[in-house]
Protein backbone atom coordinates (compact mmCIF):
# COMPACT_ATOMS: atom_id res chain seq x y z
CA UNK A 1 0.00 0.00 0.00
CA UNK A 2 1.36 3.45 -0.88
CA UNK A 3 1.98 5.88 1.97
CA UNK A 4 -0.32 8.83 2.63
CA UNK A 5 0.56 12.18 1.06
CA UNK A 6 0.19 15.16 3.41
CA UNK A 7 -0.25 18.50 1.68
CA UNK A 8 0.83 21.41 3.89
CA UNK A 9 -1.22 24.45 2.87
CA UNK A 10 -3.48 22.03 1.03
CA UNK A 11 -6.54 24.29 1.30
CA UNK A 12 -5.08 26.66 -1.32
CA UNK A 13 -5.30 26.54 -5.10
CA UNK A 14 -2.17 24.51 -5.84
CA UNK A 15 -2.44 22.11 -2.90
CA UNK A 16 -6.11 21.44 -3.52
CA UNK A 17 -5.45 20.74 -7.20
CA UNK A 18 -2.68 18.26 -6.39
CA UNK A 19 -4.85 16.64 -3.71
CA UNK A 20 -7.69 16.26 -6.21
CA UNK A 21 -5.48 14.60 -8.82
CA UNK A 22 -3.90 12.22 -6.32
CA UNK A 23 -7.27 11.35 -4.77
CA UNK A 24 -8.55 10.59 -8.28
CA UNK A 25 -5.52 8.29 -8.72
CA UNK A 26 -6.53 6.36 -5.56
CA UNK A 27 -3.85 7.81 -3.28
CA UNK A 28 -4.47 8.53 0.41
CA UNK A 29 -4.27 12.30 0.92
CA UNK A 30 -4.24 14.38 4.10
CA UNK A 31 -4.99 18.06 3.55
CA UNK A 32 -3.09 20.24 6.01
CA UNK A 33 -4.08 23.72 7.14
CA UNK A 34 -3.45 26.12 9.99
CA UNK A 35 -7.09 25.40 10.82
CA UNK A 36 -8.34 21.79 11.09
CA UNK A 37 -11.92 22.75 10.16
CA UNK A 38 -10.77 24.48 6.97
CA UNK A 39 -8.77 21.36 6.08
CA UNK A 40 -11.79 19.10 6.66
CA UNK A 41 -13.96 21.33 4.46
CA UNK A 42 -11.34 21.14 1.71
CA UNK A 43 -11.28 17.33 2.03
CA UNK A 44 -15.08 17.28 1.69
CA UNK A 45 -14.86 19.36 -1.51
CA UNK A 46 -12.54 16.75 -3.00
CA UNK A 47 -14.85 13.91 -1.97
CA UNK A 48 -17.73 15.72 -3.67
CA UNK A 49 -15.76 15.69 -6.92
CA UNK A 50 -14.06 12.32 -6.60
CA UNK A 51 -16.70 10.24 -4.79
CA UNK A 52 -17.17 9.35 -1.14
CA UNK A 53 -14.73 6.42 -1.46
CA UNK A 54 -11.87 8.89 -1.96
CA UNK A 55 -9.24 8.49 0.75
CA UNK A 56 -9.01 12.17 1.70
CA UNK A 57 -9.03 13.73 5.15
CA UNK A 58 -8.15 17.10 6.64
CA UNK A 59 -6.20 18.11 9.73
CA UNK A 60 -3.84 20.73 11.07
CA UNK A 61 -0.52 21.05 9.27
CA UNK A 62 1.35 19.63 12.27
CA UNK A 63 -0.98 16.61 12.62
CA UNK A 64 -0.63 15.99 8.87
CA UNK A 65 3.19 16.04 9.21
CA UNK A 66 3.07 13.63 12.12
CA UNK A 67 0.81 11.22 10.21
CA UNK A 68 3.12 10.39 7.31
CA UNK A 69 6.64 10.75 5.90
CA UNK A 70 5.63 12.11 2.49
CA UNK A 71 4.88 15.83 2.61
CA UNK A 72 4.12 18.40 -0.06
CA UNK A 73 4.54 22.08 0.75
CA UNK A 74 2.20 24.49 -1.07
CA UNK A 75 2.20 27.75 0.88
CA UNK A 76 2.89 31.32 -0.24
CA UNK A 77 6.52 32.36 0.23
CA UNK A 78 5.60 34.96 2.85
CA UNK A 79 4.59 32.17 5.26
CA UNK A 80 7.25 29.65 4.19
CA UNK A 81 10.06 30.11 6.73
CA UNK A 82 7.86 30.74 9.74
CA UNK A 83 5.63 27.74 9.01
CA UNK A 84 8.59 25.39 8.50
CA UNK A 85 10.17 26.54 11.74
CA UNK A 86 6.88 25.80 13.54
CA UNK A 87 6.44 22.41 11.87
CA UNK A 88 10.04 21.21 12.24
CA UNK A 89 9.40 19.22 15.47
CA UNK A 90 6.41 17.45 13.86
CA UNK A 91 8.27 16.34 10.72
CA UNK A 92 9.54 12.78 11.08
CA UNK A 93 13.24 12.05 10.43
CA UNK A 94 13.61 10.50 6.97
CA UNK A 95 10.51 12.28 5.60
CA UNK A 96 10.46 13.43 2.00
CA UNK A 97 9.39 17.09 1.86
CA UNK A 98 8.41 18.15 -1.64
CA UNK A 99 8.53 21.92 -1.95
CA UNK A 100 6.46 23.64 -4.67
CA UNK A 101 6.94 27.15 -3.26
CA UNK A 102 7.81 29.94 -5.66
CA UNK A 103 9.33 33.06 -4.04
CA UNK A 104 7.20 35.53 -5.98
CA UNK A 105 7.73 39.23 -5.34
CA UNK A 106 3.95 39.38 -4.84
CA UNK A 107 4.68 37.89 -1.40
CA UNK A 108 5.96 41.30 -0.29
CA UNK A 109 3.58 43.42 -2.35
CA UNK A 110 5.59 43.28 -5.57
CA UNK A 111 4.77 41.76 -8.94
CA UNK A 112 3.82 38.12 -9.47
CA UNK A 113 5.93 38.25 -12.64
CA UNK A 114 9.12 38.71 -10.62
CA UNK A 115 10.83 36.58 -8.02
CA UNK A 116 12.62 37.56 -4.84
CA UNK A 117 16.26 36.81 -4.22
CA UNK A 118 16.46 34.08 -1.59
CA UNK A 119 19.73 34.02 0.35
CA UNK A 120 20.00 30.21 0.12
CA UNK A 121 19.42 30.30 -3.67
CA UNK A 122 15.81 29.12 -3.80
CA UNK A 123 12.78 28.50 -1.59
CA UNK A 124 13.56 24.77 -1.69
CA UNK A 125 17.13 25.36 -0.50
CA UNK A 126 15.73 27.54 2.28
CA UNK A 127 13.55 24.57 3.26
CA UNK A 128 16.60 22.30 3.36
CA UNK A 129 18.42 24.77 5.57
CA UNK A 130 15.49 25.24 7.97
CA UNK A 131 14.63 21.55 8.44
CA UNK A 132 16.63 18.76 10.05
CA UNK A 133 19.44 17.22 7.99
CA UNK A 134 17.53 13.93 8.31
CA UNK A 135 14.73 15.30 6.11
CA UNK A 136 14.95 14.77 2.36
CA UNK A 137 13.99 17.93 0.47
CA UNK A 138 12.81 17.66 -3.12
CA UNK A 139 11.72 20.58 -5.34
CA UNK A 140 8.85 19.89 -7.76
CA UNK A 141 5.50 21.06 -9.21
CA UNK A 142 6.49 24.76 -9.50
CA UNK A 143 5.41 25.08 -13.10
CA UNK A 144 2.08 23.23 -12.88
CA UNK A 145 -0.90 25.60 -13.05
CA UNK A 146 -3.46 25.19 -10.27
CA UNK A 147 -6.14 26.10 -12.83
CA UNK A 148 -5.26 23.01 -14.88
CA UNK A 149 -4.98 20.80 -11.80
CA UNK A 150 -8.43 21.85 -10.59
CA UNK A 151 -10.04 21.45 -14.02
CA UNK A 152 -10.89 18.16 -15.69
CA UNK A 153 -8.63 16.55 -18.28
CA UNK A 154 -4.94 16.29 -19.02
CA UNK A 155 -2.42 18.63 -17.43
CA UNK A 156 -0.20 19.78 -20.30
CA UNK A 157 3.04 20.30 -18.35
CA UNK A 158 6.30 18.60 -17.45
CA UNK A 159 7.40 18.49 -13.81
CA UNK A 160 11.09 19.02 -13.13
CA UNK A 161 12.19 17.24 -9.96
CA UNK A 162 15.35 18.41 -8.16
CA UNK A 163 17.02 17.02 -5.05
CA UNK A 164 20.40 16.34 -3.51
CA UNK A 165 18.97 12.92 -2.52
CA UNK A 166 19.05 11.01 -5.81
CA UNK A 167 17.05 8.12 -4.36
CA UNK A 168 14.06 10.42 -3.65
CA UNK A 169 13.80 11.72 -7.21
CA UNK A 170 12.12 8.58 -8.70
CA UNK A 171 9.66 8.53 -5.76
CA UNK A 172 8.54 12.07 -6.59
CA UNK A 173 8.60 11.41 -10.34
CA UNK A 174 6.19 8.51 -9.78
CA UNK A 175 3.91 10.80 -7.76
CA UNK A 176 3.95 13.47 -10.48
CA UNK A 177 3.25 10.88 -13.17
CA UNK A 178 -0.02 10.01 -11.45
CA UNK A 179 -1.36 13.32 -12.79
CA UNK A 180 -2.73 12.61 -16.28
CA UNK A 181 -0.67 14.39 -18.95
CA UNK A 182 2.31 15.13 -16.71
CA UNK A 183 5.77 13.83 -17.54
CA UNK A 184 8.27 13.97 -14.68
CA UNK A 185 11.95 14.64 -15.40
CA UNK A 186 14.99 14.37 -13.13
CA UNK A 187 16.25 17.96 -12.84
CA UNK A 188 19.40 17.12 -10.87
CA UNK A 189 20.61 18.84 -7.72
CA UNK A 190 18.41 20.88 -5.40
CA UNK A 191 20.32 24.04 -6.40
CA UNK A 192 18.60 23.79 -9.82
CA UNK A 193 15.32 24.60 -8.05
CA UNK A 194 16.31 28.27 -8.30
CA UNK A 195 15.98 28.04 -12.09
CA UNK A 196 12.73 26.05 -12.00
CA UNK A 197 11.18 28.46 -9.48
CA UNK A 198 12.07 31.43 -11.72
CA UNK A 199 10.31 29.87 -14.73
CA UNK A 200 6.99 30.19 -12.89
CA UNK A 201 7.29 33.99 -12.82
CA UNK A 202 7.85 33.90 -16.59
CA UNK A 203 4.78 31.66 -17.06
CA UNK A 204 2.65 34.02 -14.94
CA UNK A 205 3.63 36.93 -17.22
CA UNK A 206 2.68 34.87 -20.30
CA UNK A 207 -0.62 33.90 -18.66
CA UNK A 208 -1.45 37.55 -18.05
CA UNK A 209 -0.53 38.58 -21.63
CA UNK A 210 -2.39 35.72 -23.30
CA UNK A 211 -5.16 35.09 -20.74
CA UNK A 212 -4.08 31.45 -20.52
CA UNK A 213 -2.70 28.78 -18.20
CA UNK A 214 0.70 27.88 -19.61
CA UNK A 215 3.04 25.06 -18.68
CA UNK A 216 6.42 23.79 -19.84
CA UNK A 217 7.58 20.88 -21.98
CA UNK A 218 11.20 19.73 -22.18
CA UNK A 219 11.96 18.17 -25.55
CA UNK A 220 14.76 16.09 -27.01
CA UNK A 221 15.50 13.72 -24.13
CA UNK A 222 15.41 9.94 -24.58
CA UNK A 223 12.06 8.29 -23.74
CA UNK A 224 13.59 6.85 -20.58
CA UNK A 225 14.08 10.38 -19.17
CA UNK A 226 10.33 10.97 -19.04
CA UNK A 227 8.38 9.30 -16.26
CA UNK A 228 4.73 9.06 -17.30
CA UNK A 229 1.72 7.13 -16.10
CA UNK A 230 2.55 4.57 -18.81
CA UNK A 231 6.26 4.14 -17.99
Ligand X SMILES: NC(=O)c1ccc[n+]([C@@H]2O[C@H](COP(=O)([O-])OP(=O)(O)OC[C@H]3O[C@@H](n4cnc5c(N)ncnc54)[C@H](OP(=O)(O)O)[C@@H]3O)[C@@H](O)[C@H]2O)c1
Residues at the interface with ligand X (CB under 6 A): 9, 11-15, 33-35, 38, 74-79, 83, 100-102, 104, 142, 144-146, 200
Kind and range of the H or E run holding 32? strand 29-33
Q: Beta-carbon neighbour count of residue 164 at 10 Å?
A: 15
For ligand X, the closer of residues 153 and 220 by Cβ is 153
Distance between CA atoms of residues 36 and 38, nearest Å: 5
State which residue, 14 or 59, has the beta carbon closest to ligand X.
14
Name the 3-class secondary structure at 82.
Answer: helix
- Provide, rounded to whole angstroms, the least separation between the CB of residue 114 and ligand X: 12
Q: Hey, CA dihedral for 5, 170, 192, 17, is it positive or negative?
A: negative
CB of 118 to ligand X, least distance (A): 12
* SS3 at position 188: strand
Please, which residue, 79 or 180, has the CB nearer to ligand X?
79
Using the minimum distance from each CB to ligand X, give the nearer residue, 76 or 94: 76
Question: What is the distance between the alpha carbons of residues 217 and 155, in angstroms, rounded to a whole number?
Answer: 11
Pick 136 or 139: Cβ nearer ligand X: 139
CA 139 – CA 100 distance, rounded (Å)? 6
- Contact call for residues 218 and 188 (beta carbons, < 8 A): no
CB of 166 to ligand X, least distance (A): 24
Give min distance, CB of 192 to ligand X, in A.
Answer: 16
Amino acid sequence: MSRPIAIIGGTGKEGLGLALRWAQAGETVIIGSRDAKRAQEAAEKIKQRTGSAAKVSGDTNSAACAATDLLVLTVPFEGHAELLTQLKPAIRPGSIVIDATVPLAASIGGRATRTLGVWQGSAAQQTAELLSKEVVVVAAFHNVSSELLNAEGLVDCDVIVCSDHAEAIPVVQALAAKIPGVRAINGGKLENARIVEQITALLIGMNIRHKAHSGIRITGLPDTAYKTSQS
